[in-house]
Chains A and B, each alone.
Chain A
Amino acid sequence: KQEVTQIPAALSVPEGENLVLNCSFTDSAIYNLQWFRQDPGKGLTSLLLIQSSQREQTSGRLNASLDKSSGRSTLYIAASQPGDSATYLCAVPEGGGSNYKLTFGKGTLLTVNP
């Protein structure tokens, strides 16, 4: 059974700092890995999806890397801003075939202080 772990559980940084969020998974036979952002009381916003054949994906100040063999992914946020404050979740599909049901980590709560 796939298990996803995110470290740290919470992180508080001053504005402008670069930071790294970590995600690990126990079963390396994944199809892809998705990073999400969740604001308080809101749904999930997809940030980046990395296919299993890819090593990294970039979107603006965000860069996600994937190392399937070691069961790890990192989300790098450059020049953090107060608006980046949210919970960040990583998730991997666990279903097979066309069923991509996701297993989630418990998230990292990020606070960026002005």
Chain B
Amino acid sequence: GAGVSQSPSNKVTEKGKDVELRCDPISGHTALYWYRQSLGQGLEFLIYFQGNSAPDKSGLPSDRFSAERTGGSVSTLTIQRTQQEDSAVYLCASSLDSGQGAGEQYFGPGTRLTVT
């Protein structure tokens, strides 16, 4: 079956603009995660979804970052008033949350965000 997909693959935006990043998880995966990968920081957790709710938003770096998930499937990560330090690769992952295979995460190809 299809893996995790993300769009766009690349996004260049001007400082101060808003951007939306999209993630389509593997069908049937109830857990969805967003991570950020930047040169100096490595891979960092941003937010976790269980179904449509987000019980763990502890990794979101500021209130300019928000995310939602609808229908237990597609998720959108929104960054408002982008800053140059937001430049990074944003990765989405999904997994089962119970039973055999629970917690094994499958990653999408990422969205490379460049803020100029």
A43 touches B103 (CB 8 A): no
Instruction: Select one of B6, B35, B95 contacting A100, CB under 8 A.
Output: B95
Of residues 8 through 56 on chain A, the ones whose CB sits less than 8 Å from some CB of chain B are 31-32, 34, 36, 41-46, 49
Chain B residue nearest to A106 in the complex (CB): B42
Question: B55 an interface residue at 8 Å Cβ cutoff?
Answer: yes
- The total number of A-B Cβ pairs within 8 Å is 64
Known A46-B104, A46-B105; judge A101-B48 contact (CB<8 A): yes
Contacts of B43 in A (CB 8 A): 89, 91, 102, 104
Which residues of chain A have C-beta atoms less than 8 A from B65's C-beta? none
Contact B50 A46 (CB under 8 A): no
Chain A proximity mask over B101-112: 1 for CB below 8 Å, otherwise 0: 011111111101
Report the nearest A residue to B46, measured CB to CB. Answer: A101
Q: Give me the interface of B with A, judged by CB distance under 8 Å.
A: 4, 6, 31, 33, 35, 42-43, 45, 48, 50, 55-56, 59, 91, 93, 95, 97-98, 102-110, 112
Given contact pairs A98-B102, A99-B50, A101-B48, enumerate 11 new A-B contacts (beta carbons under 8 Å).
A43-B107, A44-B107, A46-B105, A93-B103, A99-B56, A100-B31, A100-B97, A100-B103, A101-B45, A102-B105, A105-B42
